[in-house]
Amino acid sequence: MARVLLENVTKVFDEMVRAVSDFSLEIADGEFMVIVGPSGCGKTTTLRMIAGLEKPTSGNIYLGDTLANNLAPRQRDVAMVFQNYALYPHMTVYQNMAFALKMRNFPKPHINKRIKEVASLLGIEQLLRRKPQALSGGQRQRVALGRAIVRDSHFAKRLQNGVPRNPKVFLFDEPLSNLDAALRVSTRAELKALHHGSQTTCIYVTHDQAEAMTLGDRICVMFNGTAQQTAGPMELYERPVNKFVAGFLGTPAMNFFTGCIKFQGDAVCFVFGNDTITLPQRMKMLLGDYRDSKMVLGVRPENLSPHPFSQHANNTISATVNIVEPLGTRTDVHLSTDTGTKFIVSVEPRIALKTNDAVKMHLDPEKVHIFEPGETAPNVMLSAAGQQA
């Protein structure tokens, strides 16, 4: 196990494409860190630099107390699961999974036992004699995942014939991307259980925010090569530092409405279209500098609800129902305002709404976020102190 530290790491390709920019992140010994962001944000490049497959243009990478910038991949003692499998085509599934253990002189009986355990876990027992070309994409992904799992240090502790060197860090590059939905959920749970048992440092890259929220002790949200915010899952969900983080985490995503901050007598309001939201008094001081300014109000779908009265309703959004999506435990209602802003409300399963209904959706003003305009504009409801971005 090892702490991993990235200090002001930058990666530029071909002297012009800046994939990662001034990226700093500290991962504690034994922590499960998830790096999440959209395609092209630099998260896989960051993982490859930790693995030694790419060299940083500037900045430093430490594994434990060792500066790793110039270490070859084999010297870093990390186990990596690639998105594109990276299996040896001439070897069977069994041989692919056993390779790293054989290179570290694990006893054959223990190799057999461990591979059977992991193959059963991932549902690939019947594939052990096949070669990669005879497997589907999802099956190859499970084999690649299994190859890393067999090196789990928790297993090494059970060995009686010596203690071979174990990986300091597990690196996962979207390892569940080719699995079907049901297997993705079960494998995600097994990965979390694996980490709980071994306490090996894990760095996991994904674009799937559900994976990030369920797996990570902490999550680093990346956008355009930079870290936007690093915090625990609920901290990110409830206290996003900017509009990008707020919109990226959550299913369905946070709703955004563009409007203006107005002071009406003793009240501070957010006005958009023909609707007015009266904000809590505690927001007056925070929004004093934004009087008459164009701003963005964010509210999550679960913090909106149909108002029982169509007339004279306070803190409501006037809208038309576009689609009603029953999802079992909840129903997502897709709506649009008179000005064309689309938004989603998550409600109780058997909601009595149908397409083209004119409705008013009540908004909980205690649950709103106010952002300056712009993709990565700050959440003005949060003070800068204590926030990581």
CATH number of 248-371: 2.40.50.140
What is d(CA 182, CA 313) in angstroms, rounded to the nearest whole number?
43
- Would strands 255-264 and 226-231 be described as parallel, antiparallel, or unpaired? unpaired
Among the listed residues 197, 162, 218, the one whose alpha carbon sits nearest the alpha carbon of residue 35 = 218
pLDDT for res 162 = 43
Homologous superfamily of 4-247: P-loop containing nucleotide triphosphate hydrolases (3.40.50.300)
Residue type, 323: I
Q: At what angle do helices 93-103 and 137-149 cross, to 10 degrees?
A: 20
Handedness of CA 117, 118, 123, 126 (dihedral sign): negative
pLDDT for res 160 = 37
Q: Which residues of the chain have pLDDT under 50?
A: 153-165, 384-389
pLDDT for res 241 = 96
Q: What is the pTM of this model?
A: 0.84
Could you tell me the residue ranges of all domains in the chain? 4-247, 248-371
Max distance between CA atoms of the chain, in angstroms, equals 80
Phi first, then psi: what are they for 287, rounded to 5°? -100, 5
pLDDT for res 335 = 97
pLDDT for res 155 = 44
pLDDT for res 125 = 93
What is d(CA 36, CA 247) in angstroms, rounded to the nearest whole number?
13
Strands (E), 64-164: 66-67, 78-81
> ∠221-223-229 over CA atoms, to 5°?
35
